[in-house]
Structure 1
Amino acid sequence: MANAIVVIVVIIIMLFAGKGAYKHLKGEGACCGGGSKPEIPKKKLDGTKLGEKTMKITGMHCENCVASVTRAINRIDGAAAKVSLKKGEAVVSYDREISNEELKKVVEDRGYHVVSIQ
Structure 2
Amino acid sequence: MVDAIIIIIVIVLLGFALKGSIRHFKGEGACCGGSHESLDMQEKKLTSPVIGKKLLKIEGMHCDHCAKQVMDAINKIDGVSAKVDLQSQTATIFYDREINDNELYQAVKSAGYHIQSISCS
How many residue pairs get matched?
Answer: 118
Distance 2:113 2:24 in 1: 16
Distance apart, 1:10 and its partner CA: 6.4
Once the two structures are overlaid, the 10-residue window that deviates more, 41-50 or 28-37, is: 28-37
Aligned residues of 2:51 and 2:97 also touching (Cα < 8 A) = yes
Aligned residues of 2:54 and 2:93 also touching (Cα < 8 A) = yes
> Where do 5+ consecutive residues of structure 2 fail to align?
none
Write out per-residue CA displacement over residues 49-84 of structure 1, whole angstroms, 9 at most, x where no aligned residue: 111100111011111110000000111111111111
Aligned twin of 1:49: 50
Does the residue aligned with 1:64 lie in a helix, a strand or coil?
Answer: helix
Aligned residues of 2:35 and 2:65 also touching (Cα < 8 A) = no
Per the normalisation by structure 1, the TM-score is 0.82
Aligned residues of 2:74 and 2:80 also touching (Cα < 8 A) = yes
Distance apart, 1:20 and its partner CA: 2.2
Aligned twin of 1:21: 21
Aligned residues of 1:55 and 1:115 also touching (Cα < 8 A) = yes
Distance 1:67 1:95 in 2: 21
Percent of aligned pairs with the same amino acid? 48
Aligned twin of 1:30: 30
Once the two structures are overlaid, the 10-residue window that deviates more, 101-110 or 38-47, is: 38-47
Aligned residues of 1:107 and 1:113 also touching (Cα < 8 A) = yes
Per the normalisation by structure 2, the TM-score is 0.80
Distance 2:63 2:20 in 1: 13
Aligned residues of 1:60 and 1:85 also touching (Cα < 8 A) = yes
**What is the root-mean-square deviation in Å for CA atoms of aligned residues?**
2.2
Q: Tell whether 2:81 aligns with 1:80.
A: yes
Distance 1:71 1:106 in 2: 9
Does the residue aligned with 1:91 lie in a helix, a strand or coil?
Answer: strand
Distance 2:47 2:26 in 1: 36
Aligned residues of 1:41 and 1:70 also touching (Cα < 8 A) = no
